[in-house]
A and B are shown apart, each in its own frame.
Chain A
């Protein structure tokens, strides 16, 4: 299964909906997408991972890279995820302390903290 990406704007946030498998092969596509958004001036990103079937450390690295980029512009990168097997990877790497993780896109879009 390949990676699917789509973006939409909600207020001042840009929601990136990701589907499929994020691994060493597909992660560069996600990286390109995040870099492109930041270069185009979108500094408040919400990455919706509800349709992600697989995530590895390469994918985590891309998300961390995205976070560094938006932070350089005083922006934010929030994640939406309810899947236990995906959340587990964030927990074992300590990244739950780094990313705000929301249960719905609506929550993430409205979050201001």
Chain B
């Protein structure tokens, strides 16, 4: 079961809220302090991408963020409702972003996520896409 689940309307101004909530829950779950910046950035990238996908496809559905504290890891799933190819999307990265003819700025988000997070998977399907990321936690949470 999710520790915290968040749904927000696909507006850029709410991405910051998602970052703050994710970082707070990650800290509580025992993710190392030094890694929290990465969690914040990665979840922000995933949410920005989902917001962009919903807006460019005219979807009014909210973006979903599921934060789950497990025994030895903390995971975040960011889901969008935009159907994609079942074979997953490719990370075109910096070469595409620098191509004057391309409009692939948003794919730099995936490049950042894959550069930051060791355990990450991007899936797309008829029901939408999901970015799943996880980080190890240091022992159990002893915080009150």
> In whole angstroms, how far apart are the Cα atoms of A105 and B108 in the complex?
27
Residues of A within 8 A of B (CB): 21, 23-25, 54, 56-58, 60-61, 64-65, 68, 85, 89, 92-95, 98
Instruction: Please list the 5 inter-chain residue pairs (A to B) with the smallest Cβ-Cβ separation, ordered nearest first.
Output: A92-B115, A61-B105, A25-B12, A24-B48, A57-B108
Q: Are B108 and A60 in contact (CB under 8 A)?
A: yes
A98 neighbours in B (Cβ, 8 Å): 94, 98
Smallest CB separation, A28 vs chain B (Å):
8
Given A57-B45, A98-B98, 17 further pairs, Cβ under 8 A? A23-B15, A23-B16, A24-B12, A24-B47, A25-B16, A54-B19, A54-B40, A56-B45, A57-B48, A57-B105, A57-B108, A61-B108, A64-B97, A92-B111, A93-B93, A93-B108, A94-B94
B37 within 8 Å of A by Cβ?
yes
Q: Are A68 and B100 in contact (CB under 8 A)?
A: yes
Interface residue tally on B, bucketed by range:
20 to 34
Q: Are A25 and B97 in contact (CB under 8 A)?
A: no
> In whole angstroms, how far apart are the Cα atoms of A60 and B109 in the complex?
9
A85 neighbours in B (Cβ, 8 Å): 37
Q: Which of B65-116 contact A (CB under 8 A)?
A: 93-94, 97-98, 100, 105-106, 108-109, 111-112, 115-116
